[in-house]
Amino acid sequence: MDRDEHGRPDEEAVKKVTVQYSIFENYISALHPGLINAANWTFDDLQIGRLRRQILQCYRQLEAKTANGSKFPPLKVYVYDEVDVPELEPLLRSQIYCSRGQWGTDVQVHDFFATSSIRTDDPAEADFFFVPGYAICVLEGNLYTLDEVDDLYKNLVQALPYFNASGGRNHVFVFGSGMAQSVFQSWREHIPQAIVLTPETELFNDFAWVAEPPFHTWKDVAIPGSLDLVEVIGLIEKAKPLSERQYLVAFFGKVAADRGPHPWVGGVDVRAEIHKLKELP
């Protein structure tokens, strides 16, 4: 790829590479990494992930190029990677396979911090430390069991070089599934004070034994779950113009018995109540 005298990539070249790669990823992301690695191809899942990160790094360099002379960022975030912490590698497997649907939240938040102007490569000047991981995807993709995911996160936290300085209070994790941080079963012992980004703030019915929501409003942040482009287009097609609406609500999920009140705690069937609102103007 062409670069200028400062070693920064050519903008047009990055755009061309991105278009070609995005078409490739659109097809290959539907394949389980096990199928990719078992195929007689000239690349494997790990190499695809590296290429993806290289393209993201080029975008970050371009953003730095256009941001010269702009305002100082309001905060700075250090993003851990596998070079810093090898224990991250198993939790970052199958990046493209994990980039779709709500599980893609974990990947997209990682992409955001990896390319953002608020990212810093100097941990000494960081206000926050972002810890990427695709826990729900590597679990549901049968790469690891729930207990293995727990062990991976315990080993990871112990290996984070800047975690203990604040007790984890300035460390940010993302858990984009209904399990939220409960996918890391030992989170209360290992990251009780860390900041969690998640679209799920309530109890998860599949974990009937968890009777206290893991989400804490004093430290955690509720974020939108990821939607694939086809889902976004579908919602836009069915949405009324704002001028014709009396209420503005967005709901994406299933309404079913297994997603009703929590088995132990009970309460209102929130999804069913939201579904009743569909006939409102």
Cβ–Cβ < 8 Å for 122, 89: no
Per residue, the 3-state secondary structure of the chain, as one string, reads: CCECCCCCECHHHHHHHHHHHHHHHHHHCCCCHHHHHHCCCCCCHHHHHHHHHHHHHHHHHHHHHHCCCCCCCCCCEEECCCCCCHHHHHHHCCCCHHHCCCCHHHHHHHHHHHHCCCEECCHHHCCEEEECCCHHHHHHCCCCCHHHHHHHHHHHHHHCCCCCCCCCCCEEEECCCCCHHHHCCCHHHHCCCCEEEECCCCCCCCCCCCCCCCCCCCCCEECCCCCCHHHHHHHHHHCCCHHHCCCCCCCCCCCCHHHCCECCCECCCHHHHHHHHHHCC
pLDDT band at 67 (very low <50, low <70, confident <90, very high): low
Which residues are bridge partners to 221 per DSSP? Answer: 197
Half-sphere exposure of 128 (CA within 13 A, CB side): 18
Query: Residues of the chain with pLDDT > 90: what percent?
Result: 38
> How far apart are the C-alpha atoms of 260 and 270, rounded to whole Å?
7
- pLDDT averaged over the chain? 86
Categorise residue 178: left if φ over 0, alpha if ψ from -120 to 50, beta otherwise.
alpha
Angle between helices 104-115 and 45-66 (to 10 degrees): 40
pLDDT(271) > 90: no
With the C-alpha atoms ordered 96, 99, 103, 108, is the resulting torsion angle positive or negative?
Answer: positive
| pLDDT attached to residue 138 | 94
The residues spanned by each domain of the chain are 1-70, 71-226, 228-281
Cβ–Cβ < 8 Å for 246, 269: no
The gap from C-alpha 71 to its chain's centroid, in whole angstroms, comes to: 27
Q: Which residue has the higher pLDDT, 21 or 152?
A: 152
Q: What is the pTM of this model?
A: 0.84
> How far apart are the C-alpha atoms of 255 and 5, rounded to whole Å?
57
Tens digits of residue pLDDT in 118-148: 999 999 999 999 999 999 999 999 999 999 9
| pLDDT attached to residue 125 | 95
